[in-house]
Structure 1
Amino acid sequence: MYVVESRGGAIACMLLSLLFLGTWPAILTLLERRGRLPQHTYLDYTITNLLAAVIIAFTFGEFGNTNDGKPNFLIQLSQNNWPSVLFAMVGGVVLSLGNLSTQYAWAFVGLSVTEVITSSITVVIGTTLNYFLDDKINRAEILFPGVACFFIALCLGSALHASNAKDNKEKLNKLQGCQVGGNGSISNGSKTISKNDLEYGSSKPEKAKAGTASFLIELESQRSIKVFGRSTVIGLAMCLFSGICFSLFSPAFNLATNDQWNTLDDGVPHLSVYTAFFYFSCSCFVIAIILNITFLYYPAFNLPKSSIKAYLNDWEGRGWAFLAGFLCGFGNGLQFMGGQAAGYAAADAVQALPLVSTFWGVLFFGEYRKSSRRTYVLLVGMLSMFIVAVGVLMASSGHRKN
């Protein structure tokens, strides 16, 4: 079994995890904006997310020699370690619920703001819990200023969302006679405009520029989740729920691998990161499959109904969804590998993933284009706080005693 032991190795794991975990939400957002049903996308994503955990377990979890204190992955599957297994599975359940909620929140409040709010809540609550669970191996005088930076970023992110929403409303209001209906339709006088309106399509032969009112309307006509006319409070509520779920999965995994509550029988070794991650991913997979198959037939937010057959025949964007699952799976695995070595509180530095998500949001989705000066100031301030926070949290890394 391969074990990350050095502080440098742990930081390398965190940086790779930060890149992977910041990229997969952008891919799922891209597919939703192209009109693919989120239920189809999430089912594809879930398959490769579990496959990543299996690959990690049978490679890193089986490399090298084994001993009674550090058994390899396959040996641990037959041991009496069910209390720790249950903690790992609880972590997988709350992560699955959080991920499922965020895929709808992205549509309502945008990729960048969703990631800011959920990540900041995760750090403020989850990092504090991990600090005490890890017997304070991280330097509190460095760790908690980093947590404070995340909290400031949360406040700036909320203000950024409000400012950007105001900017978008003003852009749409400048279109004379254009009104947004409660079902997301857009009307101009007595005529309703939809993505199936050929005359409307022919009147815009060129793709609208990002940040313009025409771009917002064009995006609304293409995407699968219609958000015009809906309150953004829905999206913010989902962000809050997701953030609470995300703040619990890492402490649950911490308990699974280190047994701070002494639930294992004497002589039973602690779960390795790889065994815990396998059970964690299995429970995440089961919950996601159950909920998304349910949403195929009973969709939320007025999405069209689907079926297992329709899902199996929907290959548009499937490769991207598979890639997102791999990135998330390997990103979570690397976070846990780094956390086991340097402390899970320090590993929460990967929650600065809005740095990566915002980059993709601006580059590919046109977020914050042609916005007000106030919005740009808030955006720069938010990103600056995240840069400081990730550096501070990594600097607080400790070393776990075996």
Structure 2
Amino acid sequence: MFLVETKVGAIICMLLALLFLGTWPAFLTLLERRGRLPQHTYLDYSLINLLTAVVIALTVGQIGDAKPNMPNFFTQLSQIQDNWPCVLMAMLGGIFLGLGNLSTQYAFALVGLSVTEVITSSIAVVLGTTLNYFLDDKINRAEILFPGVGCFLVAVCLGSVVHSSNAADKAEKLETLANRFEGGIGNVIQSDYKEVDSCKDELNDLENGSDRGDKAKVGSAQYLMEVEDKRAIKVFGKSILLGLIVTFFAGISYSLFSPAFNLATNDQLHMMKRGVQKLTVYTAFFHFSLSFFLVAVILNIWFLYRPLLNLPKSSIKSYLNDWNGRNWAFLAGLCCGLGNGLQFMGGQAAGYAAAD
């Protein structure tokens, strides 16, 4: 079994985790903007996330000699009759992450990728780091840790303000475009984007996917209309409050999964009997990812037939036949699985508060 036992190794793991965990949201956003149903994307994503955890457990968690008080993956997997309380705690962490990621997928559409990432990550750092600091018995230096936490708290407030400002700006641009059309198609004035010949022609072009040669300026009203027409989750008319509620729920869910994983591997609550070996990172990560996958399957199969936000209904058959963008969903799941695994490996060595 491979264990990260040095601060340098922990830092490398955490830096790589940041890279992977900062990449997968862009892939999910890309697929939603291209019109792929989020239920289809999330099922693919969660499957590869689980398979990544299995591969990690079977390689670095199993190959080689066991360490003192650190049994290999299969050995500890067979001891579930003794360590089941911590297994359940690891699975609870996976449920929190599953709910957070699922909410985030919809928040990306409602609030935007950049604002969602700022708010959810900041909430996770503020709450999760504080909880882990005390669970880790204050091994990290508070004078270094908490000024950073304070900065993230400010980021939560600023992110909320930015979302409100963006929503107001979009509404103003669309209202301006609507007012121009009210005066007659021939009176539409060319502004900071290419001239719109007619509303009917524009909508037909969007529906048929034809290219008129004139690309709308990014951020213009015409550009917003094109994005709205192509994307899976229609956001025009959705309230600012709805987007913020979904985003804050995702952030709170994120803030709880790491402390739950911390409790699963270190058993600060003394849930297991004396003498029972604590869960290794790899065993806990396997159960963590398993519950993540189960939550994803249960909720997204339900959402196939009872979709949220007026999305079209789908089916298991339609999902299985939908290969449009599946490679990107698989890549997102791989990035998430590797990122979480590296975060936990680094957290075991340097403290989960630092890993957050």
CA-CA distance at 1:114 after TM superposition? 0.8
Matches of 1:159 and 1:193 in 2, distance apart? 36
Matches of 1:123 and 1:248 in 2, distance apart? 10
User: Contact 2:57/2:282 (CA < 8 Å) preserved in 1?
Assistant: yes
Matches of 2:204 and 2:329 in 1, distance apart? 26
Q: Deviations over 1:191-225 (max 9, x none)?
A: 77886567896684433232222111100000010
Matches of 1:315 and 1:219 in 2, distance apart? 21
1:231 aligns with 2:239: yes
2:96 corresponds to which of 94, 102, 124: 94
Aligned to 1:289: 297
Matches of 2:203 and 2:77 in 1, distance apart? 52
User: Contact 2:126/2:149 (CA < 8 Å) preserved in 1?
Assistant: yes
Task: From the superposition, tell whether residues 329 and 178 of structure 1 become closer, same or farther in structure 2 (CA, over 3 Å).
Answer: farther
Aligned to 1:365: none
| Structure showing greater Rg | 2
User: Contact 2:206/2:226 (CA < 8 Å) preserved in 1?
Assistant: no
Of 192-201 and 10-19, the range deviating more from structure 2: 192-201
Of 48-57 and 259-268, the range deviating more from structure 2: 259-268
Of 102-111 and 193-202, the range deviating more from structure 2: 193-202
User: Contact 1:43/1:289 (CA < 8 Å) preserved in 2?
Assistant: yes
Aligned to 2:215: 207
TM-score computed with the length of structure 1 as normaliser: 0.81
User: Contact 2:48/2:333 (CA < 8 Å) preserved in 1?
Assistant: yes
Matches of 1:207 and 1:229 in 2, distance apart? 24
TM-score computed with the length of structure 2 as normaliser: 0.91
Task: From the superposition, tell whether residues 233 and 89 of structure 1 become closer, same or farther in structure 2 (CA, over 3 Å).
Answer: same
**Structure 2 residue matching 1:177: 3-state secondary structure:** helix
User: Contact 1:62/1:72 (CA < 8 Å) preserved in 2?
Assistant: yes
Aligned to 1:368: none
Aligned to 1:30: 30
Aligned to 2:8: 8
CA-CA distance at 1:265 after TM superposition? 1.5
1:309 aligns with 2:309: no
Aligned to 2:342: 334
List gaps (5 residues or longer) in structure 2. 182-195
Aligned to 2:189: none
CA-CA distance at 1:239 after TM superposition? 0.7
List gaps (5 residues or longer) in structure 1. 180-187, 349-402
Q: Deviations over 1:342-390 (max 9, x none)?
A: 0000001xxxxxxxxxxxxxxxxxxxxxxxxxxxxxxxxxxxxxxxxxx
User: Contact 2:42/2:300 (CA < 8 Å) preserved in 1?
Assistant: yes
* 4+ runs deviating over 3 angstroms: 190-205
1:254 corresponds to which of 248, 262, 265: 262
Aligned to 1:217: 225
Matches of 2:243 and 2:166 in 1, distance apart? 14
Matches of 1:242 and 1:199 in 2, distance apart? 33
CA-CA distance at 1:72 after TM superposition? 0.6
User: Contact 2:44/2:326 (CA < 8 Å) preserved in 1?
Assistant: yes
Instruction: Please provide the CA RMSD for this pair.
Output: 2.0
Number of residues paired by the alignment?
339
CA-CA distance at 1:120 after TM superposition? 1.1
* Identical pairs, percent: 68
User: Contact 1:254/1:344 (CA < 8 Å) preserved in 2?
Assistant: yes
User: Contact 1:194/1:221 (CA < 8 Å) preserved in 2?
Assistant: no
Matches of 1:335 and 1:26 in 2, distance apart? 19
Task: From the superposition, tell whether residues 163 and 218 of structure 1 become closer, same or farther in structure 2 (CA, over 3 Å).
Answer: same
2:326 corresponds to which of 295, 298, 318: 318
User: Contact 2:304/2:315 (CA < 8 Å) preserved in 1?
Assistant: yes
Aligned to 1:113: 115
User: Contact 1:193/1:200 (CA < 8 Å) preserved in 2?
Assistant: no
Matches of 2:75 and 2:93 in 1, distance apart? 22
Mapping of residues 1-400 of structure 1, within 5 Å: 1-67=1-67, 69-79=69-79, 80-177=82-179, 204-348=212-356
Q: Deviations over 1:95-143 (max 9, x none)?
A: 1011111111110110011111111111111111000000000001111
Matches of 1:10 and 1:144 in 2, distance apart? 20
Letter in 2 for 1:126: G
CA-CA distance at 1:172 after TM superposition? 2.3
